[in-house]
């Protein structure tokens, strides 16, 4: 099995790349989805988040309102560190369990672990290789404003909360440029997919 760490900047197009590779046969583990599981009422970290951030981050159904929580942590680096400290261990545990299950069931699979903050969290050694989806900063901001309905200031705050994409690019094993059309991205991924399949069969 080949465990590919899929990462990039916010709004860079990781979901598009993941969808294209899954259509080719890759298996996907979305760590953001695992975080949602951990943050559900009764989940591993729901109580700690409410204890530290207050009931103001809850919706009427008692689920965490990620928009409200995001507004708090993106404007306060210390609160963002605290949230990561609460959530990351629970998510890593769920991820490891999922990887172990896939390794047993699909020993020659290409597994995409979609980890937005893979490089920031120093997790490069926890994957077999890092596949980075690249989009220049200004285009990240524009896409994020459109996608999330944010002001330019709000979008800039979210982009600034991550390591600059140019720094991430240097640390990646494979870079997919997502500035063009989806067809161009698909074409770039054709050769990459063949290489990933070979490495998975060879055990990396």
Together in a domain, 14 and 57: no
Give the model confidence (pLDDT) of 16-57 as tens digits.
999 999 999 999 999 989 999 999 998 999 999 999 999 999
Instruction: Yes or no: say if 37 and 162 are a contact pair by the CB < 8 Å rule.
Output: no
Write down the pLDDT at residue 24: 96
Domain edge (last residue) among 68, 84, 108: 108
Task: Please state the pTM of the whole predicted model.
Answer: 0.84
The Cα 59–Cα 55 span in angstroms is: 9
Stronger pLDDT, 120 or 18, i.e. the higher one = 18
Looking at 108, 138, 160, the residue that finishes a domain is 108
Structure token digits, residue 150 = 């944010």
- In this predicted structure, the answer to whether residue 174 has a pLDDT above a threshold of 70 is yes
Confidence of residue 161 (pLDDT cuts 50, 70, 90): confident
Domains of the chain: total: 2
Domain range enclosing 37 = 33-108
Looking at residue 113, its pLDDT comes to 97
Same domain membership, residue 124 and residue 179: yes
- Chain length of the chain: 204
Indicate the pLDDT class of residue 204, thresholds 50, 70 and 90: low
How far apart, in whole angstroms, are the C-alpha atoms of residue 173 and residue 81?
Answer: 27
Burial class from Cβ neighbours inside 10 Å (0-12, 13-18, 19+) for residue 23 reads exposed
Task: Write down the pLDDT at residue 120.
Answer: 87
State whether 185 and 98 are in the same domain. Answer: no
Confidence of residue 95 (pLDDT cuts 50, 70, 90): very high
* Residues sharing a CB contact under 8 Å with residue 53, sequence separation 6 or more, in sequence order: 69, 72, 79, 83
Same structural domain, 124 and 85: no
- Separation of alpha carbons 81 and 128, rounded Å: 26
> In this structure, what DSSP letter does residue 46 have?
H
pLDDT at 121: 86
Q: Which residues contact 173 (CB under 8 A, 6 or more apart)?
A: 129, 130, 131
Same domain, 113 and 17: yes
- The Cα 20–Cα 181 span in angstroms is 13
The sheet carrying 129-134 orders its strands as 27-30, 110-114, 2-8, 129-134, 174-177
CA angle, 91 as apex, 80 and 100 as ends, to 5°? 155
Percentage of the chain surpassing pLDDT 70? 100
Cβ-count burial 154-173 (b if 16+ within 10 Å, e if not) = bbbebbebbeebeebeeebe
Same domain, 128 and 103: no
């Amino acid at each position: 099995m080949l465990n590919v760490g899929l990462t990039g900047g916010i709004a860079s197009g990781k979901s598009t790349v993941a969808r294209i590779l899954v259509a080719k046969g890759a298996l996907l583990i979305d760590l953001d989805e695992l975080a949602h599981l951990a943050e559900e009422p009764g989940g591993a970290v729901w109580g700690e988040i409410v204890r530290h951030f207050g009931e103001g981050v809850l919706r009427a159904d008692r689920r965490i309102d990620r928009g409200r929580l995001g507004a708090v942590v993106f404007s306060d680096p210390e609160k963002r560190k605290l949230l990561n400290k609460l959530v990351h261990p629970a998510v890593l545990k769920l991820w490891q369990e999922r990887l172990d299950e896939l390794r047993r069931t699909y020993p020659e699979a290409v597994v995409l672990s979609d980890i937005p903050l893979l490089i920031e969290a120093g997790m490069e050694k926890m994957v077999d290789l890092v596949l980075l989806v690249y989009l220049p900063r200004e285009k990240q901001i524009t896409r994020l404003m459109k996608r999330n309905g944010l002001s330019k200031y709000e979008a800039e705050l979210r982009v600034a909360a991550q390591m600059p994409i140019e720094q991430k690019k240097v640390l990646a094993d494979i870079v997919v440029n997502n500035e063009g059309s989806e067809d161009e991205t698909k074409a770039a991924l054709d050769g990459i997919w063949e290489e990933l399949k070979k490495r998975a069969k060879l055990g990396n």
